[in-house]
Amino acid sequence: MKANPRRRIAVLVSGTGSNLQAVLDAIGSGALDATVVAVVSNRADVYALERAEAAGVPTVCLVPGPGEARSDYDARLVATVAEFEPDFVLLAGWMRLLSMTFLSRFPNRVINLHPALPGQFPGTHAIERALEAAQRLGLHRTGVMVHFVPDENVDDGPVIATAEVDIHSDDTVETLSARVHAAEHALLITALRAVVAGAG
Ligand code: GRF
């Protein structure tokens, strides 16, 4: 066995997967020394799965059953993800709350990306809410963060990295989203490089 094996990352997705692509590209270019061992989606037919397949990464689609209890789904998710023996589980556009059934199985190993700064706009539509705050309250800046997920608190936990994003007076949801997503793609790689370098 190598003394310093490449860190194994399982990526959980629900949608487009542009952040997954940023990770795959960074690994491909040598900017990130890691391996994506699996991409798991809670939704069928999402573009993120196509991106993973194009990169030759194993994919699993695990759609919740009708009325399935969260703890039952999360137990299935644990079994699925654990099979790939990841060092880290990255939530990259994963749009489903995770319970302690899942989180306690991967302590200090689950990493989330959120398009807002710590403590601001947790939950969905963070970019839209930041723009609304800019228009109504004069907010000049939002941002993005990457953090560990220790518990069920939404978009909260020990911060790994943040980046600020200016809000322009003529911004629309589209223009601000484009700037926030570009910041996410860069920050995610910075954060993963730090985590991978620090992993014992
Ligand atoms: C990102 O803005 C992420 O922070 C949020 O959902 C979006 C996912 O984008 N949670 P993508 O699927 O990576 O393109």
Copy the structure tokens of residue 52.
Answer: 């993973």
Please give the chain's pLDDT, 200 residues, in tens. 444 579 999 999 999 999 999 999 999 999 999 999 999 999 999 999 999 999 999 999 999 999 999 999 999 999 999 999 999 999 999 999 999 999 999 999 999 999 999 999 999 999 999 999 999 999 999 999 999 999 999 999 999 999 999 999 999 999 999 999 999 999 999 999 999 998 75
Closest CA to 111 of 90, 94, 86: 90
Of 104, 50, 54, nearest to 75 by C-alpha is 104
Write out the catalytic residue numbers.
114
| Largest CA-CA distance found in the chain, in angstroms, rounded | 57
DSSP string, 38-54: EEEESSTT-HHHHHHHH
CB 126 within 8 A of CB 114: yes
What is this structure's pTM?
0.96
User: Residue 14 and residue 94: Cα distance in Å, rounded?
Assistant: 5
Q: How many angstroms does the Cα of residue 184 sit away from the middle of ligand 1?
A: 8
Closest ligand 1 atom to Cα of 91: 10
Structure tokens, 174: 């589209």
The residue nearest atom 6 of ligand 1, judged by CA position, is 93
Question: How far, in Å, from the CA of 1 to the mean position of ligand 1?
Answer: 35
SS3 (DSSP) at 12 = strand
CA distances from 1 to 4, 8, 85, 86 (A): 9, 14, 15, 16
Give the residues surrounding ligand 1 with Cβ less than 6 Å away: 15-19, 48, 92-93, 113-115, 181, 184
- Answer yes or no: are the C-beta atoms of 19 and 51 closer than 8 Å: no
For residue 94, the ligand 1 atom closest to its alpha carbon is 10
